[in-house]
Structure 1
Amino acid sequence: MFNSQMQVCTTFVAYLDRTCTMATETEGATSHESHLEWAHKDNRRLLHVVYRVGDLDRTIKFYTESLGMTLLRKRDIPEEKYTNAFLGYGPEETHFVVELTYNYGVEKYNLGTGFGHFGIAVEDVYKTVELIKDKGGKVTREPGPVKGGSSVIAFVADPDDYLFELIQRKATPEPLCQVMLRVGDLDRSIHYYKNAFGMKLLRKIDRPEYKYTLAMLGYAPEEETTVLELTYNYGVTEYDKGNAYAQIAIGTDDVYKTAEAVRFFAGKITREPGPLPGIKTKITASLDPDGWKTVFVDNADFLKELE
């Protein structure tokens, strides 16, 4: 009798274990699907990229006169001892822009080895480079086809040594077209940005002769919008991020749901979702597996802020 009762108990416990495991797996699958669905149906767009410069007026002059950008707005925050300037090729409501930050009294930053470059699409790389030279700009790679390809490019450096790749293309709705960052595990990064950020893998190129692989990810084709270019250099798993490049901002319809999805797919939330003091714009901040920072901004609040 005793052995029979023990067998019944053991069988019942095993049943409970299987039931709990199945329930947990079902719950996990449901969470995965719900977070994945949200990341892909959310109304997301790359808004701006933030980085630090040592002389704001000097940089604005270079961007407007040499790169053809427009100064969209400028704001000074004396209580926090910094000034921002927003520049781009169209209004912030519809275009990706750069947000320059000048911290009072800081003239030099370390760019590190992780940040790569920004990309600008131009209709004639040769003419653009000549203009930049005439304005005293620094050309680090003369115009010409890429190695092993036909695309015409050039590289120029701004006054703080941030690199800009000039890419020859037909007229595009978004000339400020790329942000390139280096990562230590490309497949891991692709998985993260597809799942947590809802981006599409647009293309992947392996160049074994130069020992690197790159992936283009974004929310629309490269010819139509700004994309993230992630580069993996063979055998390099970590980079020095310096203190110059800061973050990318992405619009979202719900910072709370987005934070949940980012956390679920192994992103690190560094600022819990909620309104900013003073301007009330809701944001959340996160780090990807390589430590690159992204800030998600509430779409409706962002438009109100621009007003």
Structure 2
Amino acid sequence: MTLTRTCHWCFKIGKRKESIYFYRDVLKMTLLRHEEFDKGCEATCNGPYDNLWSKEMIGYGPEDGINHFVLELTYNYPVKSYTLGNDFRYLEIESTKAIDGVKTMNWPYTESGEYIEVKDPDGYMIKIKPGDDKITKCSLNVSNLNNTIHYWCDILGAKLYDKTDKTALVGFGDTHCKLEFTDIGEPIDRKTGFGRIAFSRPLEEVKKVSEKIQQNNLKILHSLRALGTPGKATCTVVILQDPDGVEICFVEEENYCKLREVDPNAEEKLNESLEADKSDEWYDRKRDGKEQA
């Protein structure tokens, strides 16, 4: 379990400018890196889309997977929106400055006990309570809690931190972001707005995960393969799906530790991308019937 780093959760976003404003300026996260891709990912990192796409890695600190869990904001040119399913519940953040940012920037929120609750521009729920700037929990719905616990704890090696009749809290380390699963007793429909969670392990451990999944006849969405990032490191990954279809990426730590380094030019690269993005013009032409779908 100590070999695993809990790295990031992917949100597919359709409102890129608004999302950057929300996470960076309202929630006070830091843009860690920006990357552009000229074709769809062969491991569907950007979802089932064969097009140009980009991603922003953003969070309260470097993506070390132990002290800081971050977000990957995945933007497909020129997809404007996604349909949210019943899989994702909320992301939990502990950040006093995020609460201050929500209130100062007049972002709509409601109060619920110790939390304030907000939705990002694409509708993903965020719960925030006072604290020292960490993403602490990712909460998901499941159809059968016992099956989920068996998969994550017995197969993947996560620790069970807490359990009730309907919920379970699991993770790979005491300081890592945790996963909370809630049994809703009905099938999970991920729609098009589904996410993906990423972990890193040494390459040999990634291979062992793949072998164990195969031995137990469980779902591998994408078998072991090398994925490159333009101008950066190439990493070996395997993409799994848990009993409810949650996508899980295990990536080799040896090269991912290079890939996740904070880019001091991330803001500049993002601004260049925003200036060059003609998605709005394409969308308007399509809406007005001037371009075929």
Aligning the two structures, in what range does the TM-score lie when normalised by the shorter sequence? 0.7 to 0.9
Match of 2:8 in 1: 48
Preserved CA contact (<8 Å) 2:99 2:129 = no
The aligned residue for residue 170 of structure 2 is 217
Q: CA deviation at 1:274?
A: 2.6
Describe the shift of the 1:270–1:68 C-alpha distance in structure 2 as closer, same or farther (beyond 3 A): same
1:209 — aligned with what? none
User: Partner residue of 2:75?
Assistant: 102
1:219 Cα deviation from its structure 2 partner: 1.4
Q: Who is 1:154 aligned against? A: 116
Paired AA for residue 111 in structure 2: E
**d(CA) in 2 for partners of 1:227, 1:70:** 21
How far 1:204 moved relative to its partner?
Answer: 1.4
- SS of alignment partner, residue 258 of structure 1: helix
TM-score by length of structure 1 reads 0.74
Contact conserved, 1:266 with 1:289, CA < 8 A, in 2? no
Preserved contact between residue 129 and residue 143 of structure 1 (Cα < 8 Å): no
> Compared with structure 1, are the counterparts of its residues 298 and 159 closer, same or farther at alpha carbon in structure 2 (3 Å cutoff)?
same
Residue identity over aligned pairs, in percent, reads 30
Taking structure 1 as reference, are residues 110 and 118 closer, same or farther at Cα in structure 2, changes over 3 Å only? same
Equivalences for residues 49-128 of structure 1 within 5 A: 49-79=9-39, 80-94=51-65, 95-123=68-96, 128=98
Distance (whole Å) between structure 1 residues aligned to residue 135 and residue 218 of structure 2: 26
1:138 aligns with 2:138: no
Higher RCO, Cα 8 Å, sep 6+:
2
Partner of 1:195: 154
Residue-by-residue CA offset, 1:116-156 (whole Å, 9 max, x unaligned): 11110134xxx7545314323221x3142xxxxxxx12211
Find 1:300's aligned residue among 254, 262, 265. 254
Q: How much does 1:304 deviate?
A: 2.6
TM-score of the two chains, using structure 2 as the length reference: 0.77
- 1:245 aligns to what SS in structure 2? coil
Query: Is 1:242–2:201 an aligned residue pair?
Result: no
Counterpart position of 1:204: 163
Question: Is the aligned partner of 1:276 residue 2:227?
Answer: yes
Distance, in Å, in 1 between the alignment partners of 2:150 and 2:245 is 15
User: SS in structure 1 opposite 2:192?
Assistant: coil
Q: Where does structure 2 lack aligned partners over 5 or more consecutive residues?
A: 40-50, 262-293
Deviation at 1:282, TM superposition (A): 0.3
SS in structure 1 at match of 2:214: helix
CA 259–176 in structure 1, closer or farther in 2 if over 3 Å, else same: same
Letter in 2 for 1:115: F
| 2:212 counterpart of 1:261 | yes
Which amino acid counterpart does residue 98 of structure 1 have in structure 2?
Answer: L
Q: Pick the aligned partner of 2:143 from 174, 184, 188.
A: 184
The alpha carbon displacement at 1:110 in A equals 0.6
CA shift, 1:305, in A, is: 2.2
Q: Structure 1 unaligned runs (5+)?
A: 1-39, 145-151, 207-212
- Matched residue SS, 1:301: helix
Match for 2:254: what amino acid?
A
- Cα distance in 2 for partners of 1:50, 1:155 equals 20
Letter in 1 for 2:243: P
Equivalent AA in structure 2 for residue 62 of structure 1: F
Q: Which amino acid aligns with 1:160?
A: D
| Aligned match of 1:229 | 180
Asked if 1 retains the 8 angstrom alpha-carbon contact of 2:91 and 2:127, the reply is: yes
Instruction: State the alpha-carbon separation in 2 of the partners of residues 195 and 269 from structure 1.
Output: 17
Aligned length: 243
- CA-CA distance at 1:237 after TM superposition: 2.5
Question: Separation in 2 of the partners of 1:191 and 1:162?
Answer: 27
The 1-side partners of 2:108 and 2:214 are apart by 41
**Matched residues in 2 for 1:128 and 1:286: separation?**
33
